[in-house]
Structure 1
Amino acid sequence: MWAQRLVAPQRFAACETPAPSADALAPGQVLLDVAAGGVCGSDLPFFRGAAAPDTAGARAGFGDPGFPMHEVAGRVLASRHPEIAVGDDVVGWASGFDGIAELAVCAGDGLHRHRADVAPETAVLLQPLACVLYAVEQVRPLAGLSVAVIGQGPIGLLFSHVAKAAGAARVVGVDRVDRSDLGPAFGVDEVVHASSDAWALDLPAGERPEVVFEAIGHQSATLNHAVDAVGFGGEIFYFGVADETSYPFAMRSFLRKNLTLRSGVTLERRRVLAAADEYLVRHPSLARDYVTHVVPADDAQKAFDLAVAPAGGQAKIVLSMR
């Protein structure tokens, strides 16, 4: 089968590799004919050269065929999962992080059968949306609250959209990239084109948000910017992937402001993927606004080069495998 593989940091090349066998599936696994994949911010450190994902169960690592991609949509060719049938069009996690390939073996508990009238290049957005919906479930109800989202890349824009749909009175989106062209469509009331530390320092006491979602990750500074920004008694959800084992943390400010900090990975994946599917029915414009670039899989290099250089007008980048 065909696949793309990283032959050096930030350099893809096409390759041929043995196809996985349907006969070798373990209980609960499915064999997926991959039709589309989304480039996620958590894939980018590995694109830059990191050796292996910090994700339990991942089979692939740097240099392996199909690595690094975990957001996938496609058709089931074989299944040993009791609730997923051959021929189902599904979306979810390529649990091996090996989704830039013709075929992938996936854990069925991380897949959901989506509506047949949704193209895979659109359906793939249900995976990051499911992650955001699960995170928002973990915090206090947002109705009537002031919410800030640090980072307005693909994940941050989804947080903004979901917060507004949940009834947030005000949504502030903060990013070093000017998101004034995309922010309003995602429910952002105030688009802040600034670094998060400068924004936090300039906030008047009466304008501090009650809930902050940190949607950047991959470095330690912005978590402390969230502590600086949030109001007394507020709540922070740290969503961005932590690339380091330990982070320096503004503990004194956290204590004195009586704050709550939450984080965590997405559980109950099939349930929240179904919830994401329903959310898309209620908000059909999200499908038009979110995926801004669809790139052929044989040009994975272009897709990832775009993803590591965020720009105005750019949200989700999807690879089409068809």
Structure 2
Amino acid sequence: MWAYVLAAPRRFEKVDVPAPEAGDLRDGQVLLRTLAGGICGSDAPDFRGLRTPLVARDRPDEGPGAPGLPGFPMHEVVGEVVASRDPSLKPGARVVGWADSADAIAAYVVTAGAGLAECDPALEPTVAALLQPLACVLSAVDRLGALDGADVAVLGQGPIGILFSHVIKERGARRVTGVDVVDRDDVAGLFGVDEAVRGASGRWAAHLADDRRPGVVVEAIGHQTATLGDAIDAVAPSGLIHYFGIPEEHPYALDMWKFLRKQLTMQAGTTLERRRYLQAAGQYLAAHRVLADHYVTHTYGVGDVQAAYECADVPAEGRLKVAVSMA
């Protein structure tokens, strides 16, 4: 089968590799023919060569950090079930979810059925790709608890942050402030943002009046440690901070004295009940078609995967989710 491999930082090459076969599946696994994939912010450090791929779960002989893992890095996948050892997913089903080994830039991929859910076959595969990040956001917002009447700030209004803004507003927040160095005025209102702040989160936090401090801050920028400090600076005393995403640096330094004196709470986590939240994402999308119309802003064919990742790697006005069509 065809696949793309990172031959060097920021450089893909197309390769021919053996296709996985139905007989190789373990209990709970499915074989997908890939239709589309979404590029996640957590793919950026991999594309830049800052991390090596984890060992593929079905190829343990390759060892950890196996270089040149075909299909890496992409975990947001839409596909058609070709073969299944998950009794709830039948061949022919259109599904969306996680590619466990982040190896979905390939004609076929093997992954756990528990990380997949059926999706509306009427959706274009590149649009259906938004259900995976939406599932992650729905899971995270559930952990925030009741938001009725809350003032919430979301740091970062890229593909993840803008979803947080939409879901948080729908959950009853009184005011949603979206902060981003990129001008998001074109979509802020559509995604529930009451105040769109264009500028660095640190500068915004430093100039907040005490009576304007949000009770909840979501840090959805990532890629460095400073913006978590900005969240601590911005949030109201006794407030809640949610750190979203995969940290690129495992230890994070923060002002623990300020954290303590402000009596703060911080939470983080990953999506555990993947199928349930993918199903919830499908229901949410059906109720909020604005996401289908405005979330995926750039679509590339798989032959242009290099250009797709280059586009996704640089925040820009008018650019939210970048999807890759593989059909």
- SS at 2:105 equivalent: coil
What is the match of residue 28 of structure 1? 28
Q: Deviation at 1:142? A: 1.2
Structure 1: segments with no counterpart, 5+ residues: none
Q: Quick one: which of 276, 285, 288 aligns to 1:283? A: 288
Q: Contact between 1:172 and 1:190, CA under 8 Å: does it hold in 2?
A: yes
What is the match of residue 142 of structure 2? 137
Identity over aligned residues, as a percent? 53
Q: Deviation at 1:85? A: 0.5
- SS at 2:206 equivalent: helix
Q: Deviation at 1:218? A: 2.1
Distance in 2 (alpha carbons) for counterparts of 1:50 and 1:184: 35
Q: Contact between 1:183 and 1:191, CA under 8 Å: does it hold in 2?
A: yes
What is the match of residue 320 of structure 2? 315
Q: Deviation at 1:62? A: 4.8
TM-score, length basis structure 1: 0.97
Q: Deviations over 1:80-124 (max 9, x none)?
A: 001110000000001110001100001000000012211211111
- SS at 1:181 equivalent: helix
Determine if the alignment matches structure 1 residue 126 to structure 2 residue 126: no
1:28-177 to 2 correspondences below 5 Å: 28-53=28-53, 62-177=67-182
Determine if the alignment matches structure 1 residue 11 to structure 2 residue 11: yes
Q: Deviation at 1:140? A: 2.5
1:288 corresponds to which letter in structure 2? D
Q: Deviation at 1:134? A: 0.1
Q: Quickly say closer, same or farther: Cα 1:185–1:57, change in 2 above 3 A.
A: farther
Structure 2: segments with no counterpart, 5+ residues: 60-64
Q: How many residue pairs were aligned?
A: 322
- SS at 2:300 equivalent: strand
- SS at 2:117 equivalent: strand
- SS at 2:214 equivalent: coil
Distance in 1 (alpha carbons) for counterparts of 2:58 and 2:233: 35
Q: Quickly say closer, same or farther: Cα 1:147–1:49, change in 2 above 3 A.
A: same
2:46 corresponds to which letter in structure 1? F
Q: Quickly say closer, same or farther: Cα 1:61–1:273, change in 2 above 3 A.
A: farther
Distance in 2 (alpha carbons) for counterparts of 1:103 and 1:157: 31
What is the match of residue 189 of structure 2? 184
Distance in 2 (alpha carbons) for counterparts of 1:104 and 1:270: 18
Distance in 1 (alpha carbons) for counterparts of 2:56 and 2:228: 24
Distance in 1 (alpha carbons) for counterparts of 2:326 and 2:107: 7
